[in-house]
A and B are shown apart, each in its own frame.
Chain A
Amino acid sequence: MNGFLQIVRRDLHLAMRQGMDSLMVVAFFVIAVVLFPFGVGPESNILARIAPGVIWVAALLSSMLSLERLFQADYEDGSLELLALQPVALEITVMAKVTVHWLTTGLPLIVAAPLLAVLMNLPDDGFVPLMIALALGTPALSLIGAIGAALILGSRRGGILLSLLVLPLYIPVLIFGVSAVDAVIGGFSARPQLLILSGLLVAALPLCPWAGAAAVRQGIE
């Protein structure tokens, strides 16, 4: 646990030093969503209909864009090898890095989401389920994405490859995240979808650091 907290503290310090990076993710999120009214037209009923999906897809893409730097910087300057050598299980290290990734991208996205929901004219009932669904879904996205980020270490064309690897695996989170909001807007309970999202998160929590650590080991061999 101590090793976990130390890595979290170190990575948070590094993220603070480059404070703009985390803001840029939010800026991308906002701009990506704002493009849609230009694309589909400003009719508020159409925007309200597509709002949950657009916000979720934009959140998913912003979370993915920042994945590449999850291990890349440490891989390039060699500190990833030192992190792997220390007497903490590599799985814990991966988990710590995922935690920092979520704190620096997932959390700002959740904070920015209500503003975008207002811009997209999301019905009032949809706000709470959107926030809960994002709170459950974005950690799962960070966890799944960590596997992809570890797999591309040392490859050619890492970034574009990463999206090909990770996006198909994101689909279940997207489906249930959007349908939770749609259910509430349609007058149903979002409980089943939110329970499934929690289930996905609980399954990803032990499995993804395990697979991610295996991938990091291949990368630094």
Chain B
Amino acid sequence: MFHRFANPTRFLRFAAVIQPWIAAITVALIGSGLYLGLFNSPADYQQGETVRIMYVHVPSAWMALFCYSAMAGACAIALIWKHPLAELSAKATAPIGAGFTFLALVTGSLWGKPMWGTWWVWDARLTSMLVLLFLYLGYMALNNAFDDPARGAKSSSILALVGFVNVPIIKFSVDWWNTLHQPASVVKMTGPAIHASMLAPLLLIGVGFTTYYLWVMLIRIRYEVTANKIRTLQRRQAATGESHA
């Protein structure tokens, strides 16, 4: 399974088959989640209607961390087994993860204004998400900083792994530093602390964001493979052109 998809042509064929299915599942999950969350769930007794920001904010924050872990995993696979698709999928994941991180920060800021009375506080969670965004940006910058794309992919893989070691350290250091954000209430040892009518849309959108990630990642990998092919063709053309001249 793992090595089967080392062949880009086979992978592209597989991707073309499953892509419409993933797209359909994504639309269904996010659509139903948004419907349940916006129209069919109760407003919070304290926060009122603004609690509905949660249905985008919390899944985005999950995805921000999930994408970074997926990216670091792909980078490890790329460095250890030199799997060609792992490098491409790490490169494809970074902008999606950065997007989700940004979305989590923006929705958090919009939620913070009515609830905390300020757009931004230097709280542990907000700060560590901001650092995560910088790690994504650093990865993408390093990936694009070399004339040779293979070199960029390898160097940025090392950076992603170093960042992955550092993410828990940053998380704990800022946790001790300053805190206002509430602790997690869905994933807890004692079971979720929110009611089923709110948990259902939250989970639907969470899974929907994950399939959305897979969907966009497939599109981006297909784009990268095609761009590589074009680059190879151009190089070959340039080489034969020189030999004729």
- Partner pick for A175 among B137, B163, B177, CB 8 A cutoff: B177
Q: Closest residue to A157 on the B side, CB-wise?
A: B145
Known A161-B142, A164-B137, A164-B138; contact A179-B158, beta-carbon cutoff 8 A: no
Residues of A near B166 (CB, < 8 A) are: 168-169, 172
User: Is B146 among interface residues, defined by CB-CB distance under 8 A?
Assistant: yes
- Closest Cβ of chain A to B239, distance in Å, is 22
User: Is B135 among interface residues, defined by CB-CB distance under 8 A?
Assistant: yes
Residue from B131, B146, B162, B176 having most chain A Cβ neighbours under 10 A: B162
User: Is B18 among interface residues, defined by CB-CB distance under 8 A?
Assistant: no
User: Is A215 among interface residues, defined by CB-CB distance under 8 A?
Assistant: yes
Interchain CB contact under 8 A, A172 and B173: yes
* Alpha-carbon gap, A179 to B141, bound state (A): 31
Q: Closest residue to B134 on the A side, CB-wise?
A: A168
Known A168-B138, A171-B170; contact A147-B162, beta-carbon cutoff 8 A: yes
Interchain CB contact under 8 A, B142 and A151: yes
Residues 177-196 of chain B: 1 if any A CB is under 8 Å from the residue's CB, otherwise 0? 10000000000000000000
- Closest Cβ of chain B to A50, distance in Å, is 14
Q: Closest residue to A148 on the B side, CB-wise?
A: B159
Q: Classify chain B: how many residues form its interface, as a range.
A: 20 to 34
* Alpha-carbon gap, A207 to B79, bound state (A): 16
User: Is A211 among interface residues, defined by CB-CB distance under 8 A?
Assistant: yes
Interchain CB contact under 8 A, B134 and A164: yes
* Alpha-carbon gap, A196 to B162, bound state (A): 19
Interchain CB contact under 8 A, A211 and B145: no
Known A172-B173, A215-B155; contact A152-B145, beta-carbon cutoff 8 A: yes
- Partner pick for A152 among B142, B154, B162, B170, CB 8 A cutoff: B142
User: Is A167 among interface residues, defined by CB-CB distance under 8 A?
Assistant: yes
User: Is B165 among interface residues, defined by CB-CB distance under 8 A?
Assistant: yes
Interchain CB contact under 8 A, B177 and A151: no
Residues of A near B137 (CB, < 8 A) are: 164
* Alpha-carbon gap, A176 to B172, bound state (A): 11
User: Is B161 among interface residues, defined by CB-CB distance under 8 A?
Assistant: yes
* Alpha-carbon gap, A156 to B146, bound state (A): 6
User: Is A107 among interface residues, defined by CB-CB distance under 8 A?
Assistant: no
Q: Closest residue to B148 on the A side, CB-wise?
A: A154
Interchain CB contact under 8 A, B151 and A175: no
- Closest Cβ of chain B to A81, distance in Å, is 15
Interface residues of chain A: helix, strand, loop or mixed (majority): helix
Residue from B137, B155, B170 having most chain A Cβ neighbours under 10 A: B155
Q: Number of A residues contacting the other chain (C-beta, 8 Å)?
A: 28
Known A151-B159, A156-B145; contact A179-B177, beta-carbon cutoff 8 A: yes
Q: Closest residue to B131 on the A side, CB-wise?
A: A168
User: Is A218 among interface residues, defined by CB-CB distance under 8 A?
Assistant: yes
Residues of A near B242 (CB, < 8 A) are: none
- Closest Cβ of chain B to A166, distance in Å, is 9
Known A155-B145, A164-B141, A218-B151; contact A211-B162, beta-carbon cutoff 8 A: yes
Interchain CB contact under 8 A, B146 and A168: no
* Alpha-carbon gap, A179 to B174, bound state (A): 11
User: Is B106 among interface residues, defined by CB-CB distance under 8 A?
Assistant: no
* Alpha-carbon gap, A178 to B79, bound state (A): 36
Interchain CB contact under 8 A, A154 and B158: no
* Alpha-carbon gap, A211 to B75, bound state (A): 14
Interchain CB contact under 8 A, A218 and B154: yes
Interchain CB contact under 8 A, A167 and B134: yes
Residue from B138, B142, B163, B177 having most chain A Cβ neighbours under 10 A: B138
Q: Closest residue to B145 on the A side, CB-wise?
A: A155
Residues of A near B170 (CB, < 8 A) are: 168, 171-172
Residues 38-77 of chain B: 1 if any A CB is under 8 Å from the residue's CB, otherwise 0? 0000000000000000000000000000000000000000
Known A164-B138, A172-B170, A175-B177; contact A214-B145, beta-carbon cutoff 8 A: no
User: Is A165 among interface residues, defined by CB-CB distance under 8 A?
Assistant: yes
- Other A-B pairs, 17, CB within 8 Å; known A164-B134, A176-B173, A211-B161: A147-B158, A152-B142, A152-B145, A152-B155, A154-B151, A155-B145, A155-B146, A158-B145, A165-B141, A168-B166, A169-B166, A171-B131, A172-B170, A172-B173, A175-B174, A214-B79, A218-B155
Per CB-CB distance, the 7 closest pairs between chain A and chain B, nearest first, are: A155-B145, A172-B173, A168-B134, A165-B138, A218-B154, A175-B173, A164-B138
